Amino acid sequence: MGNNLATFLLILSILLILKVWTLSRFFQIATERDEAQATLKLLQIEISLLQHRTLHDYLTGLPNRILLEDRIRQAVVKATRDHSHFLILFLDLDGFKPVNDKYGHDVGDRLLIEVGHRIRSTIREEDTIARIGGDEFVLLACIATTSDASVVIKKITDALKHPFHVKNHQIYMAASTGKSIFPEDGNTLEQLLLTADQAMYAVKNKNRTQQRSSATKVG
């Protein structure tokens, strides 16, 4: 009887030990799984942030040249398939350097952010406004007809006419613009960007010539 009881107690002890070990191992696995899931989630967040930084302007948060060019390529494919149009508009801010020189780079940076926000607020959600460097912005906008380009451009230039209030400074800003329309002005990314860029610089140079002429007359 005593041997049977001892054997029973030994078996019971072994079973209890196995149960405790099993529960401990289960909780360890569950903890490791939760830690792995948390690590994976952090990695996904880091990858998402890295991707965002790669495709967006560090200052304004707007799409950068890489993302803009990708969206233009997609627009070319879609417009070719649908026999539709889209607008590429280059905008270069007039008189931005004097703002930096007079008020400092902090004000200049804030002004660029405000310009981006204002343009963003005047266009549709599906359109893209990108900052490609310095004080240059580029708009990609779908249009029903080529004449709609003038409407879009007017909305943006009118929006920029209102003063910007940056750190207690009231700043007036305008932009020289140049456009290209698919497919009238080109059917590739390179052709469209080059045409719009050249048109913008032609307007920029014309404005500078007129300003110098006016200054000479006043003098």
pLDDT at 182: 97
- Residue 204 CB partners (closer than 8 Å, separation 6+): 92, 94, 176
Give the model confidence (pLDDT) of 141-178 as tens digits: 999 999 999 999 999 999 999 999 999 999 999 999 99
Rg, the chain, Cα only: 31
Local structure of residue 63 (DSSP, 8 states)? B
pLDDT at 43: 63
Q: How far apart are CA 127 and CA 87, in angstroms?
A: 10
pLDDT at 124: 94
pLDDT at 158: 94
Task: Examine the domain organization and report whether 101 and 207 are in the same domain.
Answer: yes
Task: Examine the domain organization and report whether 121 and 19 are in the same domain.
Answer: no
Residue 125 lies in a domain: yes
Task: Examine the domain organization and report whether 30 and 121 are in the same domain.
Answer: no
Outline where DSSP puts E strands in 103-193. 128-133, 136-143, 164-166, 169-171, 174-182
Task: Examine the domain organization and report whether 177 and 74 are in the same domain.
Answer: yes
Task: Examine the domain organization and report whether 42 and 129 are in the same domain.
Answer: no
Q: What is the mean pLDDT of each run of 10 residues along the chain (219 residues)?
A: 64 76 75 71 68 87 95 96 97 93 94 97 96 96 94 95 94 95 96 96 81 54
Residue 86 lies in a domain: yes
Task: Examine the domain organization and report whether 76 and 43 are in the same domain.
Answer: no
Inter-axis angle of helices 105-122 and 148-161, nearest 10: 140
Among 9, 35, 55, which residue terminates a domain? 55
Sign of CA dihedral 70, 71, 76, 81: positive
**Structure tokens of 164?**
């910007």
The number of domains in the chain is: 2
Residue numbers annotated as active site: 135
Local structure of residue 33 (DSSP, 8 states)? H
pLDDT at 218: 46
Which residues are bridge partners to 89 per DSSP? 139, 179
Task: Examine the domain organization and report whether 20 and 76 are in the same domain.
Answer: no
pLDDT at 210: 66
Task: Examine the domain organization and report whether 42 and 100 are in the same domain.
Answer: no
Task: Examine the domain organization and report whether 75 and 51 are in the same domain.
Answer: no
Residue 60 lies in a domain: no
Task: Examine the domain organization and report whether 91 and 185 are in the same domain.
Answer: yes
Q: How far apart are CA 62 and CA 55, in angstroms?
A: 9
Task: Examine the domain organization and report whether 135 and 176 are in the same domain.
Answer: yes
Task: Examine the domain organization and report whether 47 and 70 are in the same domain.
Answer: no
* Residue 87 domain boundaries: 65-218
N-to-C CA span, the chain? 124
